[in-house]
Chains A and B, each alone.
Chain A
Amino acid sequence: MIKKKPTSLAKIIKSTIFYLFVTTLGVGILLPAFFLVSLSFLSTREAYQFPLPLLPALSAKYSLTFGDRGYLLSVYDDFDDEYQTVLDTAELEKMSVYMRSQIGAPYDIPDIEDRIAELESGTDPVYFKARKNLLLNYDLFFKVTRDAVPALIRSLQIAGMTIVISLSIGGMAGYAFARYVFIGRDALKFSVLFVRMFPGVAIALPMVIILANMGFYDQPIGLSLVYSVGSIALTVWITASIFMGIPESLEEAAQVFGATKFQAFLKITFPLALPGLAAAAMYAFLGAWNETVSAIILTQFNPTFAVVVYQTLLGAVGHVNLAAAGGLAMAIPSVIFTFFIRRYINQMWGGVTV
């Protein structure tokens, strides 16, 4: 018989605390994210119900009967387990619009006419179901919000340019810091971080003036230049430590075995540094993509996507679900990019990281 190992009390307490901590952390991170995702799929009616539904309904159940002003439309409520009257009207178009935009489960006017015919032929009330359009909020967000799609494209452009600028300049600087000894190296390496000390708001006015002088105010290139300043600093530090971790003798070996200095960098150091460069690219992308404050100040007619979402949030007092859809639409590219780049950050050779 296998004797079970006695578990000490301390161990139980320790693991209990550990899992409590992990769970709290997980809930703290996951719950708001879940809430946001769920909210973005809710119809306007659902979004303002109490209690708020955990998950969006996939269809809506309607009932139709005669009302004072025409026809009485009711919607089934899961929580109360009863039909609640939402509209009393004789205008079929108004009814259809209400069903589409407020309930999120569209029903065409001819179909409504059919149901009314049923009602008038004696069935009272008439029950019917409609499928919900889950993507309604997203659809609305991009249709209703002033230039959401161009803003999305601009944001992608800005993020892309920021990556290119900060990786080429910051990467080269990082390589120099890692490989060469020169006067003032440490001071310079430290001073690149200075630029990150100033809050965007604080230096916004000079930035506007400088960009305006350069002709880059309200231009994607202007914003990506501003973002690059900060992310170059970070890129320098990330890539310098990565390049430092790659022994110089690997490059030297390549040179001895027939490569030029540039080939040695391209074939040996670059692939080995790829995880670090990917991480730096990710920071540059996320920094440029998520930044709002500078973007609000430095754009006027060509806002970034973050600005558009921000404005929707301000203007969408009656449409919290719409703002949620905008927020999520904004999160999706950065999530995709992060997962895509993760492959490179975790890059391994032969099962073991370098």
Chain B
Amino acid sequence: MATLTMQDVTKQFGRKVIAVKEFNLEVQDQEFLVLLGPSGCGKTTAMRMVAGLEEVTNGRILIGDRDVTDLPPRNRNVSMIFQNYAVWPHMTVFDNIGFALKLKKMPKDEIEKTVKEVAGMTNIDMLLERYPSQLSGGQQQRVAVARAIAVYPEIFLMDEPLSNLDAKLRVSMRTELKAIHDKTEATTVFVTHDQSEAMSMADRIVIMKDGEVIQVGSPDDVYHRSASIFVADFIGTPPTNFLEVDVKSENGDYRLVNPHVDFKPESHISESLRDYDKKNLILGIRPENIVLTNQKDAVLSAECLVSEPQGSHQVVAIQLDQQYIKVIASAQPKINPGETVHLAFKQDTLRLFDPETTLAIGD
């Protein structure tokens, strides 16, 4: 159990490609941290540098107080779960799990004890004599997990471990991985591009884009207080709706205006609008924060384009010029395409972004 510190870590491939750029991160002891970002954002490279599978171009990596920047993987006391499981096909499940222990020259009976213990934790104790090719994808995944637990690492690295599983198994493995984390209390770094996976598992989420950290925060932070347009768009299904608005001042009040909406936001936003008078801003609002209302209170009225019933709720889409706005409404009453809907915004959830920097304003 230990903390993990990455200081100004940079990874450069060749002369031009910078995969990770001045990456700074502190992972607390026993924390479950998720690196989240679209593919190619450098999250896996960042993790592989922690594992020692990728050389660090610049910067330092510390596990606890140990500087591991230049240590080979075997001396870092980390363990890793790979995206394709990477269980060794020519070894039985037992040998796969016991591989690391054998290399450590642990006595045989102790290896057997440890292997049985972790196999029990991951529910594969019946499969120890089998070869990986005789196992299902989910079972191979458990072998990979058991192998990673068996070494009692200081840092647990998981590289998109659930992405090869089918949708249903993925959700149940999520719960199991989280339970195992709670049991082993190992500091965990989990890489994924699936934002719902990140939201459901993480203590903290690190959102990356183009090799840089965009935002670090709890799932609530990144969801409700997205730091940039990118984060607001990346997190959540359906993603945040964006509207271009102009700021207009009227008797000392600020109004947000575009051809479809014209309203005066609540005071906490007004404060930050002072610097943006007569300028252009991007208004971000999450689908569940747009509410159906009557004509009198409506900020926006439009014709429903399609409605997608989801059982517990329905997603109503309307079209404004070239853009779709999605609204999450309660399942009843059902809204039919062509029906006019009157919408209001939950004022305290509005986010405003500067179109130039794409960053949120007013924080």
User: Residues of A with Cβ closer than 8 Å to B?
Assistant: 247, 249-250, 252-261, 263, 267-268, 271-272, 349-352, 354
Contact A349 B90 (CB under 8 A): yes
Closest to A272 in B: B90
- Give the complex CA separation of A260 and B87 in angstroms: 17
Q: Does B23 contact A (CB under 8 A)?
A: no
Contact B82 A252 (CB under 8 A): yes
A-B Cβ contacts below 8 A, count: 81
Residues of A within 8 Å of B52, CB to CB, are 255-256
Contact A352 B133 (CB under 8 A): yes
Name A257's contact: one of B72, B89, B90, B151 (CB within 8 Å): B151
CB<8 Å pairs between A and B, sample of 5 = A252-B51, A255-B72, A257-B103, A268-B90, A350-B131
- Give the complex CA separation of A247 and B83 in angstroms: 11
Contact B82 A253 (CB under 8 A): yes
Contact B104 A258 (CB under 8 A): yes
Q: Does B236 contact A (CB under 8 A)?
A: no
Q: Does B73 contact A (CB under 8 A)?
A: yes
Contact A258 B103 (CB under 8 A): yes
User: Residues of B with Cβ closer than 8 Å to A?
Assistant: 51-53, 72-74, 78-80, 82-84, 86-90, 99-100, 103-104, 130-134, 147, 151
Residues of A within 8 Å of B78, CB to CB, are 256
Rank and list the top 6 A-B pairs by shortest CB-CB distance, nearest first: A350-B131, A257-B100, A352-B133, A253-B86, A258-B103, A249-B86
- Give the complex CA separation of A354 and B130 in angstroms: 14
CB distance from A272 to the nearest CB of B (A): 6
Residues of B within 8 Å of A261, CB to CB, are 72
- Give the complex CA separation of A38 and B83 in angstroms: 59
* Given A258-B100, A260-B74, A263-B103: A253 and B88 interface contact (C-beta under 8 Å): yes
* Given A252-B53, A253-B88: A354 and B80 interface contact (C-beta under 8 Å): no
Q: Which of A247, A267, A349, A351 has the most CB of B within 10 A?
A: A349
Judged by DSSP, the binding face of A is helix
- Give the complex CA separation of A254 and B134 in angstroms: 21
Contact A259 B51 (CB under 8 A): no
Contact A350 B133 (CB under 8 A): yes
CB distance from B211 to the nearest CB of A (A): 20
Residues of B within 8 Å of A352, CB to CB, are 131, 133-134
Residues of B within 8 Å of A250, CB to CB, are 86, 88-89
Residues of B within 8 Å of A271, CB to CB, are 90
Closest to B133 in A: A352
- Give the complex CA separation of A258 and B134 in angstroms: 26
CB distance from B302 to the nearest CB of A (A): 50
Contact A350 B130 (CB under 8 A): yes
Contact B147 A257 (CB under 8 A): yes
Residues of B within 8 Å of A257, CB to CB, are 74, 79, 99-100, 103, 147, 151
Contact A259 B103 (CB under 8 A): yes
Q: Which of B73, B82, B133 has the most CB of A within 10 A?
A: B73
* Given A257-B99, A349-B89, A354-B89: A247 and B133 interface contact (C-beta under 8 Å): no
Contact A258 B74 (CB under 8 A): yes
Closest to A258 in B: B103
- Give the complex CA separation of A249 and B87 in angstroms: 9
Residues of A within 8 Å of B74, CB to CB, are 255-260
* Given A253-B86, A255-B53, A258-B100: A351 and B147 interface contact (C-beta under 8 Å): no
Residues of A within 8 Å of B147, CB to CB, are 253, 257
Closest to B147 in A: A257
Contact A260 B72 (CB under 8 A): yes
CB distance from B125 to the nearest CB of A (A): 18
Residues of A within 8 Å of B73, CB to CB, are 252, 255-256
- Give the complex CA separation of A349 and B132 in angstroms: 9
CB distance from A347 to the nearest CB of B (A): 9
Residues of A within 8 Å of B72, CB to CB, are 255, 260-261
Contact A354 B103 (CB under 8 A): no
Contact B90 A247 (CB under 8 A): no
- Give the complex CA separation of A171 and B330 in angstroms: 65
Residues of B within 8 Å of A256, CB to CB, are 51-53, 73-74, 78-80
CB distance from A78 to the nearest CB of B (A): 56
Name B82's contact: one of A249, A267, A354 (CB within 8 Å): A249
- Give the complex CA separation of A253 and B84 in angstroms: 11
Contact A254 B99 (CB under 8 A): yes
- Give the complex CA separation of A254 and B79 in angstroms: 10
Residues of A within 8 Å of B100, CB to CB, are 257-258
* Given A256-B53, A256-B73: A268 and B133 interface contact (C-beta under 8 Å): no
* Given A257-B79, A258-B104: A252 and B131 interface contact (C-beta under 8 Å): no
Contact B133 A354 (CB under 8 A): yes
- Give the complex CA separation of A149 and B232 in angstroms: 82
Q: Which of B51, B78, B103, B147 has the most CB of A within 10 A?
A: B103
Residues of B within 8 Å of A260, CB to CB, are 72, 74
- Give the complex CA separation of A23 and B203 in angstroms: 69
Residues of A within 8 Å of B90, CB to CB, are 268, 271-272, 349, 354
Q: Which of A254, A257, A263 has the most CB of B within 10 A?
A: A257
CB distance from A23 to the nearest CB of B (A): 36
Residues of A within 8 Å of B104, CB to CB, are 258
